[in-house]
């Protein structure tokens, strides 16, 4: 058992060997991620970056080094949530009743959006920046198919595109993000229509 394998004579003036630096940076990365999760949960997509670095115990410039843009940071924060949303809506693609599936799709989105403050705005920002990763693109793709199936079954108006539908959901969520019951009520109204 060669327990001490001839350590490289690392100069004293260097704070740590390269491997140690990377490990240190990695720990900071992680600290920032954890802090971002907390602060974004509290403040949403517009969370103060200063506050995030403060909670991580680091300077704000370090946050910028690790996450050059807000969108990149939000992408890390919401990655798992987007995947969970996709997993939950996937079965709707083969559901027996396409009309009911569409309603469920809208309600599931609303649930995830109100349960995760900032998620709706993040998806909007990601679309606007055309930085769609596979995860976001899949939200839209699933929605498109669910809507298409409902339209083919004459269970949804042919007028609406997936862009319209996502925009409608996002608008209602953004304006009422902290009131899940209200979001659900307004979405049900919009899906059912006001006029008779």
Q: Which residues sit at the interface with DNA, rule CB under 7 A?
A: 15, 18, 21-22, 24-25, 28, 47-51, 58-62, 64-66, 70
Alpha carbon of residue 47 to chain centroid: 14
Element housing 154 (H / E): none
Instruction: Answer yes or no: are the C-beta atoms of 139 and 80 closer than 8 Å.
Output: no
Residue 38 binds which entry of a second copy, DNA, none, CB below 5-8 Å type-dependent: none
Q: How far is the CB of 35 from DNA (least distance, A)?
A: 12
Instruction: Answer yes or no: are the C-beta atoms of 140 and 162 closer than 8 Å.
Output: yes
Question: Which residues in this chain contact a second copy in the complex, by CB under 8 A?
Answer: 99, 102-103, 106, 150, 154-157, 159-160, 164-165, 167-168, 170-172, 174-176, 182, 185-186, 189-196
Question: Of the two residues 63 and 150, which places its CB atom closer to DNA in the complex?
Answer: 63
Q: Nearest CA to 118 among 183, 46, 182, 180?
A: 46
Question: Of the two residues 16 and 87, which places its CB atom closer to DNA in the complex?
Answer: 16
Residue 51 binds which entry of DNA, a second copy, none, CB below 5-8 Å type-dependent: DNA
Question: Of the two residues 28 and 86, which places its CB atom closer to DNA in the complex?
Answer: 28
Q: How far is the CB of 121 from DNA (least distance, A)?
A: 14
Q: What are phi and psi of 160, to 5 degrees?
A: -85, 135
Q: Nearest CA to 65 among 16, 37, 29, 36?
A: 29
Question: Of the two residues 59 and 91, which places its CB atom closer to DNA in the complex?
Answer: 59
Distance between CA atoms of residues 134 and 185, nearest Å? 30
Angle at alpha carbon of residue 137, lines to 63 and 132, rounded to 5°: 35
Residue 86 binds which entry of a second copy, DNA, none, CB below 5-8 Å type-dependent: none
């Amino acid at each position: 058992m060669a327990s001490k394998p001839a350590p490289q004579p690392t100069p004293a003036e260097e704070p740590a060997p390269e491997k140690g630096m990377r490990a240190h940076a990695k720990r900071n990365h992680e600290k920032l991620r954890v802090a971002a999760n907390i602060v974004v949960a509290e403040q949403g997509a517009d969370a103060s970056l200063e506050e995030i670095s403060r909670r991580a115990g680091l300077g704000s410039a370090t946050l910028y080094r690790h996450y050059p843009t807000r969108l990149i940071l939000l992408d890390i924060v919401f990655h798992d949530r987007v995947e969970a949303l996709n997993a939950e809506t996937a079965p709707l693609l083969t559901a027996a009743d396409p009309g009911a599936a569409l309603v469920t799709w809208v309600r599931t989105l609303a649930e995830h959006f109100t349960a995760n403050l900032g998620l709706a705005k993040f998806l909007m920002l990601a679309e606007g920046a055309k930085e769609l990763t596979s995860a976001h693109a899949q939200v839209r793709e699933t929605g498109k198919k669910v809507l298409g199936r409902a339209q083919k079954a004459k269970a949804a108006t042919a007028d609406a595109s997936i862009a319209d539908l996502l925009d409608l959901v996002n608008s209602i969520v953004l304006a009422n993000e902290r009131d899940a019951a209200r979001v659900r009520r307004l979405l049900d109204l919009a899906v059912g229509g006001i006029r008779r």
